[in-house]
A = this chain, B = another copy of it.
Amino acid sequence: MERDILKRSERNIIEYINNVLGFTADRDVVKGIGDDCAVLRKDSSSCILLTTDTLVAGVHFDLAWHPPLLLGRKAGAVNLSDIAAMGGEPRFALLNVAFPGSAPTWLDDFLAGFHEILQEHDTHLVGGDTVKSSSDISITVTIIGEAAEDNICYRSGTVTGDLVFVSGSLGDAAAGLDLCRSGMPGDDIEQWQQLRNAHLDPQPQVQLGRLLAESGQVHAMMDISDGLATDLAHICAASGVGAEIYKDSLPVSQQLNSAASTLGKPFLDWILKGGEDYQLLFTVSPDHEQDLRELVFKKNGREIFCIGKIIDAPGVFLSDGLHREEVSYQGYDHFAE
């Protein structure tokens, strides 16, 4: 057995666990480790989706600026987003919270936020565990969803020539995190409300995910949690292809542009490496591009953004029309020091 796996990146740990433990030779495992959700057969036409995430204080959130109500919302949102990324319908939730016994009202507010986001997505809390920790607050949320087997969108399945789409502006959440970290006084930070909200209270794209999955036109899909550079690399690796991103086509909000000037940071870093946007990233054949744009506009009243294309050569490349630079896996890694 290979040692020292803790020195590796999160991606490698997951691969390692999958290789050593992910023995999915069961008739009811449609997809085990390696996508946004595990997919289990429920009956002849429908599947159960399972996703779980752990958030640790001081690593994934900072109690200094993350109000517990919004943190409760976010703990639900990041898992609802995984269900969205497969095109599923969230149904049930489990909540595990470990905390030291020293925060009398913190859990009340956290639970209120968690409750709120579940209700918004018609998802029912059915179990969990509350335990005492010695120091860290740590939160694990598990969401159980459902989807018709034929509609589920995996990371694999895209082919050369497909167009790469995202569902909305990228980089806002990462910029919001930088702003929260900057220690900027309250009055100054007020102007960046949209960016801070993107970090503190992200919106899972559940409705859009289902619409895209049901359209039958999406070849691969996932949500952007670790930054475009890493997440698109996951789709490429799972599908055995590469991708080229067009720098000028990336959807950038006005606030992001303006924060980039103020903080003196290139906004591309936030987009490629920042993560936590929880927008959907998906690929479509050029033949269906127009149909899909129209469907999304008609049903959800929104635009989707083509940011690149799938290519033969492995890797994710950023192109400004003249030069191409490889950016694969430059996103957020939960194990980076």
- Partner-B contacts on A (CB < 8 A): 1-7, 10, 13-14, 17, 20-26, 28-29, 32-33, 37-38, 40, 42-43, 48, 50-60, 91-92, 94-99, 101-108, 111-112, 114-115, 118-119, 124-136, 138, 140, 142, 144, 334-335, 337
Contacts and interface: CB of A to CB of B under 8 A. Distances in A.
Contacts of A60: 131
Given A1-B108, A6-B103, A132-B56, A124 B334 contact: no
Given A133-B138, A134-B136, 14 more contacts: A2-B108, A6-B102, A6-B107, A17-B130, A21-B111, A21-B125, A22-B125, A24-B124, A32-B124, A32-B126, A54-B138, A56-B132, A96-B140, A132-B335
Contacts of A2: 108
A162 to B, nearest CB: 26
A6 B99 contact: yes
Given A96-B52, A103-B6, A130 B13 contact: yes
5 contacts: A6-B104, A33-B128, A52-B140, A54-B131, A133-B136
A99 B51 CA distance: 20
Contacts of A334: 130-132
A17 B111 contact: yes
B50 A126 contact: yes
Task: Quickly give the copy total for this chain.
Answer: 2
A54 B126 contact: no
Contact of A129 (B6, B25, B54, B134): B54
A310 B52 CA distance: 40
Contacts of A118: 21
Contacts of A1: 108, 112
B56 A131 contact: yes
B144 A50 contact: yes
Contacts of A127: 32-33, 37-38, 50-52
Contacts of A4: 104-105
A25 B167 CA distance: 32
Contacts of A142: 52, 94, 142
A57 B134 contact: yes
Nearest to A97: B54
A38 B94 contact: yes
A51 B142 CA distance: 11
A169 to B, nearest CB: 26
A21 B114 contact: yes
A60 to B, nearest CB: 7
Contacts of A29: 92, 124, 126
A267 to B, nearest CB: 27
A104 B7 contact: yes
Given A5-B107, A126-B50, A138-B138, A59 B131 contact: yes
